[in-house]
Each structure stands twice: as C-alpha cells, then as structure tokens.
Chain A
C-alpha cells in the first residue's frame, strides 16, 4: 500500500518540520508564495520520514528559488495603466457542478465553495443532477440554501453541462467536477485570469491531487496527473508554426475538471457536444472538443495556476485503468468527430493520430521495461481505448444519444 502525504509550504510563512505518518512513504509538496502556487514537487521518502526544516529549505530553494525571484520581480514591475486593463467590474459567475449519485463528494465540493476567499460578488451555484435514480443529491443540495438544484433527465455529462448553460444568466460558467475541493483562492485566480485576458473564451486552471492515499493515485500523479505547471499560458489563433499538432492536440489546453467558459461564446459555438461524455460507453472527450472549438471559433484560451482546485483521483487500480481506457477512447472519438466536422484541419489531425500511436506505444514500452512505473495494463487500456475510439465509437455514440432523446420523448434541450 503506497501512500503519500500532500502538504503545502507558503514562502510568506516560515518553513517548519514535516512529520509523515508511519504508512506514508512520500510527499507531494505544493510550494506557494503569498498564496500563488510557484512549484509542485513529488518525492519518495522512507516510510514515516521526518523532513526537518533544514532539508525542506534546501529543497524549496532548489525547486522554487527561481520562481520566488520571478514572483517577487513580477510584483515590482509596473504596468502602463490602460483603460481596458484597469480593474474592470467584477464579472458574474455561475459555478456548475454536474453530478450523479455522489452526494458525499458533492457536499465536500459545495462546502469548499462556501469557504472561498474572496467570494465572487455576483455568483450562483448550480448543481445539475444527471438522470438520478433517487433524491440523495437533491437532499444534499437543499441543505445549502444558496445552491440551486436542477435536474437533467437525459443521462450524459454533456447533457448536464448544457443544462447548466441553459439555466445560467451570468457572464461566465465555471464547470467543476464533483470529486474536487476548491482552493480558497480559486476565485481570486479565475477573476485575475478573466481580467488579464479580456475576450478570452475559456480558462483552465491548475488541478492538484487532493489526497494520495493509494497506489493508483500516486502512480497517476507520478505520470503527471492533471497538472499543467505553475506558469500562466495563453493560446490564440489556429496556427502555431512551432507545433504541428496545434490546436488539434487539445490536451494542452487543460482539464475539464476545472474549466470556465464565457457564456455567450459557449452559446455561439453551440454548447457541448452531447454525443461525447455520454456515460459508460463513451465517457470522455467533451472538454477536448469544447477547447478545440473555442480556439477554432477565434476565442483565446488561458491557463491560470492560481485558479486552483484539488481533485480526488481514482483510488483503485481498476478505476484508474478504466480512466486510461476512457482517455484513449475520448481522445480518438474527438479526433474522428473533428475530422468530419472541421475538414480543413484533416492533415493536422492525421499527424496527431500518428503522434498518438507513437506516444501510446512508447508508454507501453516504458511500462514493460521501467520499474516503478504504471502497471502495463494502464497503457494497454489507453491504447485499446484509442483503437475502439477510432473505430467508429463517435457515430455509435451519436445513435445512442438519439435513442436516449427518443426514449425520453423530450424536446431538444437546446439552450
């Protein structure tokens, strides 16, 4: 049983000793400077190790010395005040949590929203209950009196996401997974990203591990997890001469577990594709698809590390294997869909497929040779998912979605 401790060090405070529990044999350290994350470090230790402040200081200096200078310097640099960059009125926000039968996780997530500091001035929280079989979610939601409960009868994450879009009246919609906990500075980061990047269509944020209490979680984080680094990034336009996969390799844009979309942009490009993220048969690809379409519609994308939340990864290896399968599947389904929907990018998507095959084979090779890596079944699952996804999963999914609609006899849920 592998367990890592997850700890934070803020350089604005003094660094103190860290004592790991007896069963913990490693540490995931988030280094922040006055709240702003500047580095993340994952390290194996002896079980129950005591990391004294001397060791930690040396570690922090090595891992984040440069970032500390950069962060301090950045605060010193003055900006020329220009009207559109003057702190504009705070944008209004809908926080949308799409969930299904996970009331405990949902409760934790909702509590963390209440703990946000600062809180958004004009915001609402919408819980979209996706095709529920009982009323536990509704029950939990009702205990938070400011949270709005909405039911989406059609099963599928992107049905739920589009339901949130339909009911929202705010400027931005922040989609948050139910198995996450928001950092108190989550809104500060998101607001900063919105104000720094006027006209941005989508913002993604840093996703750190909430706990690393099982081998599956540790392995997942070692392979990179959902992390996208501690630097701000921005993407704009359809051509990057230095990256032949851009913008088709939409994984670079971030993760759907922590994304915010501008409502009117999202409406204009037609919302989420409901044939992706449809639950068991095709449970992924919707986030890739929406980032890609945002970029193609001409809206910039931003990544902001201070816009931060913690995600509880799958704790069992079976669940993790399923996750990898899902990624392969969703990724390829997204590619197949986009080749058909956006044929001018056909060549780039083809290059992406070749790239992905090399990437998947490399992972399989690595996992079969290198010790202390993911079990081989993970990369095999991802590869198999990719094959299934490439072989027509998207069109099968479209048919299923039509059936779901017909079965419900519902009118189109177009927002």
Chain B
C-alpha cells in the first residue's frame, strides 16, 4: 500500500505555498433568478466570483463563491441564490419576521413580529414566488416627482466621463443634470461635460464637497434633488427608483444600495467587506426621530449607517427647513460625514428618512491600499468633526460620549489586541491618525460658524 502521497509535480498549485499565493480577486456576475441559471466556470488562479442575484431590476442579495468552490454547476448556483436571497424574498412577500433591523450600537430594536409558519407556507403555496417578485417590482407609484441629478466632482474627468455615460442612458432621464465642478485646477472637467448634451455645468470656486453640494441645491429646480458621485455607474432605472422611494409624502430624504462595480484588488475587496455592515442590504428601512434617533442617541445615533453620499436624495423643501450641507464637513474640509450630519438634522426636525435598496449605484472602490488608508483616515476625521458639530447643534450627550469614551476605548482595545497578535486590523493606524486629526481640526474651528444661517438664507 502506498502511504506516501507525493504531490504531482505537474500540479502548479501544490508548489505555491501560502505566502506566494496570487492575489485574490472576484469577478462580478449578475444572475437573474427569473431566467434559467447557468453554470459558472473556473476563473484564473485565486479568482472567485461575486454573485449578484436579482429578479428583473430588483436586487435580492449577493454572495461569493471562492476559487475553491469553482467551477460551480448550475444547480449549485441556484442553491446559493435561494439560500442568499431567502430573507429578502420573505421581506418582499411582506411576511412577518423578515424585516430588516435598524442599525444599532447596542441592543437591536425588536421591530419584527415573529414569523408564522402558516403565513410562510400559504404565501409560498399561492403560486410562483418569482412571478410575485417580478410583479411587485413592476407595480410603480403614480405621479412621480421631478428629480434633479447633482454630481459634484473635482479633477477626475476620466472617471466622471464613465458616470456621465450611464447618466445619458437613464430611462426615464432626470429632470435636469447638474455637474458642480469644485475649485477646479484645470478645464478638463468642463471639456468632458461639454461632450454630453443637456448637462448644466457650474463651478463652485470654494473648495469642499459641502460647498459644491450646496451649490447644487442653489442650481437645481426639481422637487427632489438626488446626489451621486463621479466614481459610480447608474443603472438605467435609477431615476425611477429614486422617485418611487419618495412615494410617502413624510419622507424627506432617501438613500440607496451601493454595489461594487469591480473587485479587482485587495483594497477593493477590503472596502467591500467594510461596507457590508448593518444599515446596508437588500431590505428597506424606515428611519424616524422616534424609532431611531431618540432611542439610540444615548450612545450617539449611528446616522452614518443610514446610507452613502454616492446614492442619496432629498426633497428640495427640506433644505429650507434644516439648512444646507455643513461646509466644515465633507471632502476638501474635514473629510466626510456631511451626508450623515444632514440626516441627523432631518431626523431631529421630525422628518423621515428611508433606505430604499431599489435605488442601486455601482461604485468603483479605491484601487490601492494607500488610497484606502487615506480614505479611512478622512472617514474618521470627518466622523469626529461631525460628532462635535452634532453635539454643538443639539447638545445630545451621546455624541460626546462616543467621541470621548466609546471611540478611544474601541481603538485602545483594538490596538492592544493587534499588538498581541490576537486580531488583525487593517487600517488601524490610519483610523487612529484620522481620529487625532479630527480632534485637531475641531480645536481650530471658530466657535460659531455662519454656515447654517448662510446656507439657509441662500436657499430662501
């Protein structure tokens, strides 16, 4: 009996030890459950697939098949599809027990009635699930309001051109498209924009994303102002999805789902992993002052989990009530969080926000680890400044508590665990540095800032 199992010398894999393993990447494959499913062949070395499941234009979930799980026969893909999307399907069929929880920093809110097996069985028995899903996706709300699209950009003409390509394909098209060129150093953005018809180009000379976003409010005349970034691709139904997300007249702001446009590099995969936390997903959420801000503000309400600036929209009228974006926040100023601080004000003023995953954008994540570190740094910096500003605006102690207790404790713990080798934390150092520079930025701020009154005035 042969007991020695020498590896076959022709097996290339066998000779590649762990350290020299080729970098991981994922190919993004969209799968429509309503169409017959096909098998997925093996990709390159260490190449997995990121499966994106949908019925028609409704996205239901994603999952990955690692290189070790490929090639995958069609039956296997169908199985992954069913397992991955079941919870979303339960929610779309309006079954009890499948609603998404609101993001929370402590005990999750019990907003779900427990599921009932009879209800599930009768819903599943009444006919085809897939047919029902397709039908509910087609049922659209009447009297959609005019949607202005605002894209703020700065010196990224090449990436912007790709975004504008997808804007040109939107069906229905937006009421108007406004590109705000933020303190440009050359005319490349203008040159790109001039190639597309029906785009209003304007310049905001003061640097800062908030300044540019406020410029967009000034320039726009639609009832709904939607924002996206210069590094995304919009699916053709985006405007319709945004309009549908405002079906409820109480809703003053909405956010949508951000999916990866590509997962080619380690940094992109890492970013994707970080952005899959609670608050995201394929099930809608409804945020109000009562169900979210008040119960959670003891520890600092996690408003940053409501969505992302690359896929958000507001009723125009809300800016007159709560003001524009705070110029101390956002890229070009402290870093980011101009979106979440806006949501904080909207919720505090008693208006509703909805996360509606029917509105999808495909975001191209940062390619290199250096860019990702830089991004993490500015996230933390902006986050710290936003906490201070929220505290100054409303005096909720939870924001201060998060700033002075929760975050320092969190990073101390992570640092100790990382130093002991118990846990691996990528981008720990940039985050801590971002935290520090956020504090420094706050200390340099003037105590009273004219921004809010100014933004409000300019809108009136």
Indicate whether A and B interact: yes
In the bound complex, do residue A57 and residue B5 qualify as a contact, i.e. CB atoms below 8 Å apart? no
B94 to chain A, nearest CB (A): 13
Interface string of B31-43 (1 = CB under 8 A from A): 0010111110000
Q: Is B289 an interface residue (CB 8 A)?
A: no
Q: Which of B71-101 contact A (CB under 8 A)?
A: 71-76, 78-79, 81-83, 85-87, 89-90, 95, 97-98
Q: How many A-B residue pairs have CB under 8 A?
A: 187
Is residue B171 within 8 Å, beta carbon to beta carbon, of the partner chain?
no
Is A240 a contact partner of B66 (Cβ separation < 8 A)?
yes
Among A69, A79, A342, which residue has its beta carbon within 8 angstroms of that of B74?
Answer: A79
B114 interface residue (CB < 8 Å to A): yes
With both chains docked as a complex, state the minimum distance between the C-beta of A267 and any C-beta of chain B, in angstroms: 10
Nearest CB of chain B from residue A408's CB, rounded to whole Å: 14
User: In the complex, are the beta carbons of A61 and B117 less than 8 A apart?
Assistant: yes
Give residues 37-87 of A contacting B (CB, 8 Å).
Answer: 57-58, 60-62, 65-74, 76-82, 85
A residues 256-309 near B (Cβ < 8 Å) are 269-275, 293, 296-298
1/0 contact trace for B96-108 toward A, CB 8 Å?
0110000000000
Q: With contacts A239-B21, A344-B14 known, is A72 near B129, CB below 8 A? A: yes
Residues of A within 8 A of B97 (CB): 61-62, 65
Is A237 positioned at the interface, with any CB of B under 8 Å from its CB? yes
A235 adjacent to B115 (CB under 8 Å): no
Residues 316 to 356 of chain B near chain A (Cβ within 8 Å): none
Chain B 191-221 interface mask (CB, 8 Å, partner A; 1/0) = 0000000000000000000000000000000
Q: Hey, what's the 0/1 contact readout for B1-33 against A, CB within 8 Å counting as 1?
A: 111111110010111111101001000000001
Chain A residues contacting B75 (CB-CB under 8 Å) are 79, 85, 196
Give every chain B residue within 8 A of A348 (Cβ-Cβ).
17-18
| Interface assignment of B124: CB less than 8 Å from any CB of chain A | yes
Docked complex Cα distance between A88 and B347 (Å): 60
| Residues in chain A near residue B98, CB distance under 8 A | 65-66
With A85-B39, A197-B73, A344-B7 in contact, do A237 and B13 touch (Cβ < 8 Å)? yes
Decide yes or no: A236 and B74 within 8 Å by CB, A76-B130, A297-B8 being known contacts.
no
B120 pairs with A242, CB closer than 8 A: no
B116 interfacial contact with A, CB 8 Å: yes
The answer to whether A74 and B130 touch across the interface, beta carbons within 8 angstroms, is no
Pairwise interchain contact B69-A296, C-beta atoms closer than 8 A: no
Within the complex, what minimum Cβ distance (angstroms) separates B401 from chain A?
Answer: 32
B117 and A69 contacting across the interface, CB-CB below 8 Å: no
Query: Are B17 and A344 touching (Cβ within 8 A)?
Result: yes
With contacts A85-B75, A412-B1 taken as known, whether A65 is within 8 angstroms of B36 at the C-beta atoms is: no
B121 within 8 A of A: yes
156-172 of chain A: CB within 8 A of chain B: 162
A327 to B124, CA, bound (A): 44
Q: Does A123 contact B (CB under 8 A)?
A: no
* Residues A68 and B120 in contact in the complex (CB < 8 Å), given A62-B115, A239-B68, A273-B3: yes
**Minimal Cβ-Cβ distance residue in B for A398:** B3
**Which chain B residues (33-60) contact chain A, with CB distance < 8 Å?**
33, 35-39, 45-46
Complex alpha-carbon distance, A71 and B79, angstroms: 8
Residues of chain B with a CB closer than 8 A to A82's CB: 38-39, 74
**Does A1 reach chain B (CB closer than 8 Å)?**
no
Whether a CB of chain B sits under 8 angstroms from the CB of A413 is: yes
CA distance A231 to B86 in the complex (A): 13
* Shortest distance from the beta carbon of B254 to any chain A beta carbon, whole Å: 27
* B67 partner, pick from A62, A67, A237, beta carbons under 8 A: A237
| A347 close to chain B: CB less than 8 A | yes
Beyond A65-B117, A269-B5, is A231–B46 a contact (Cβ under 8 Å)?
no
From B3, B5, B90, B121, A11 is in contact (CB under 8 Å) with: B121
CB-defined A-B contacts under 8 Å, sample of 24: A57-B118, A58-B117, A61-B117, A61-B120, A65-B98, A65-B115, A66-B90, A69-B87, A72-B124, A74-B82, A78-B37, A79-B36, A85-B73, A198-B73, A238-B14, A239-B45, A270-B2, A272-B1, A274-B1, A296-B5, A297-B8, A342-B5, A344-B17, A348-B18
